[in-house]
């Protein structure tokens, strides 16, 4: 599994995005603004570990909207563990996670219940 650690990201669109294999993301800082959500997993992914990061981004640069933190598209094949992160975004994940393009700290698109994700 690819490992991404000890990076500083600022003013990006999807600072970290992955395909189905997944990744381990840790000890990184996401600051400033973004052109979309910050951390992304396409096609549900297999295994993701997202921990010990600071996500200070709260606003989008391209529109007057709050920025989402972690966006998962579907249910992970094995797991997505999100822990010990600091999200400046004040909106916690919602139940059920069914709407797309939301702005909470953690979003799971295309799922009727939280599945395969822990935080």
pLDDT per residue, tens digit, the chain (119 aa), is: 899 999 999 988 889 987 778 899 999 999 988 888 899 877 767 899 999 999 998 888 888 888 889 988 888 889 999 999 999 988 888 887 766 667 889 988 888 888 899 98
**Prediction pTM value:** 0.90
For the beta carbon of residue 24, count every other beta carbon within 10 angstroms: 15
Q: Delimit the domains of the chain by residue range.
A: 3-118
What Cα–Cα distance (Å) separates residue 1 from each residue in 12, 21, 44? 23, 7, 15
Rounded CA separation 51/60 (Å)? 23
Q: State the distance between the two ends of the chain, measured CA to CA, in whole angstroms.
A: 20
């Amino acid at each position: 599994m690819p490992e991404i650690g000890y990076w500083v990201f600022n003013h990006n669109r999807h600072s970290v995005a992955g395909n189905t294999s997944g990744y381990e993301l840790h000890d990184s800082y996401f600051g400033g603004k973004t052109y979309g959500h910050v951390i992304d997993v396409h096609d549900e992914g297999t295994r993701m570990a997202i921990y010990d990061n600071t996500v200070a981004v709260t606003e989008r640069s391209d529109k007057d909207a709050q920025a989402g933190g972690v966006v998962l598209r579907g249910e992970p094949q094995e797991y997505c563990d999100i822990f010990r992160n600091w999200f400046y975004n004040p909106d916690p994940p919602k139940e059920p996670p069914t709407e797309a393009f939301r702005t909470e700290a953690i979003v799971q698109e295309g799922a009727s219940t939280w599945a395969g994700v822990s935080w």
